[in-house]
Amino acid sequence: MPEGKVVFKRPEALEETPTHYCPGCTHGTIHRLIAEVIDELGIREKTIGIAPVGCAVLAYHYFKFDMAEAAHGRAPAVATGIKRVRPENVVFTYQGDGDLAAIGTAEIVQAANRGENITVIFVNNAVFGMTGGQMAPTTLPGQVTTSTPTGRDVKVAGYPLRVAELIAQTAGAAYVVRRTVTQPKYVRSCKKAIKTAFETQLAGLGLSIVEVLSTCSTNWGMSPLEALDWVEDNMIPYYPLGDYKVIDEVKSLE
């Protein structure tokens, strides 16, 4: 028989290990995109990732480079310290909405405003995933969660926080975009954005952040396919995909 053509292989920057994520969770897709970009840029030996508190708390099991664990919401502060001590390294945080947009709001806003030369991958699935599916700052109006069984009431809980739009207003942010991974075309666009975010850091231009709209089929009470559709039907209209701040120096990198 003729030899088959290799059309797929695991990125070098990913460990060969079983996943702990729920079926249908898109964390795995986002992990792969990060690993592919790191391989393509040839920066694996000098990359340091910061794992969060949340569903991705075990992110260090999946990446084949140095990782550090941060207290809840403090990943940007930890990344700031590492990057300032070791400016030659590539430092990124990987954070969920419960981590970054709730307890960590001050950390990310101040890091962006200072223009810390780090990269942030922000995974937004509109709930606190690991702790049982409670309402998060990004939970949509009317969305049912374990702590809002009749839906989020904005008169009581306020409105969802649009992180990309918020960070885009800070003076030190250089690259702020929102993407998703619900379809192949979106996966390709997300990978390109992640690569640009790392290139922004390599060029020393300031903070870069990619918000990725993600699923949580377990806590949403949906099948994986239903959850993908829910992102497109409900999350994207409230959190439009797009580029929210791209400084001219970054545009020249694309």
Domain 27-251: CATH superfamily, name plus number? Thiamin diphosphate (ThDP)-binding fold, Pyr/PP domains (3.40.50.970)
Asked if pLDDT for residue 242 goes beyond 90, the answer is yes
Residues 6+ apart with CB under 8 A from 104: 72, 73, 74, 75, 76, 95
Q: Cβ distance 68 to 51 under 8 Å? A: yes
pLDDT band at 129; cut points 50, 70, 90: confident
Full-model pTM: 0.95
Q: Quick one: pLDDT at residue 39?
A: 98
Q: Which of 128-132, 206-210, 240-244 has the lowest mean pLDDT?
A: 128-132
- DSSP letters, 178-224, are EEE-SSHHHHHHHHHHHHHHHHHHHTT--EEEEEEE---HHHHT--H
Q: Where are the domains of the chain?
A: 27-251
Q: Quick one: pLDDT at residue 170?
A: 98
The rounded distance, in Å, linking the Cα atoms of 72 and 22 is 21
Asked if pLDDT for residue 1 goes beyond 60, the answer is no
pLDDT band at 132; cut points 50, 70, 90: confident
The rounded distance, in Å, linking the Cα atoms of 15 and 33 is 14
Q: What is the pLDDT of residues 14-63, one digit of tens each?
A: 999 999 999 999 999 999 999 999 999 999 999 999 999 989 999 999 99
Q: Cβ distance 142 to 232 under 8 Å? A: no
Q: What is the pLDDT of residues 169-186, one digit of tens each?
A: 999 999 999 999 999 999
The rounded distance, in Å, linking the Cα atoms of 87 and 90 is 8
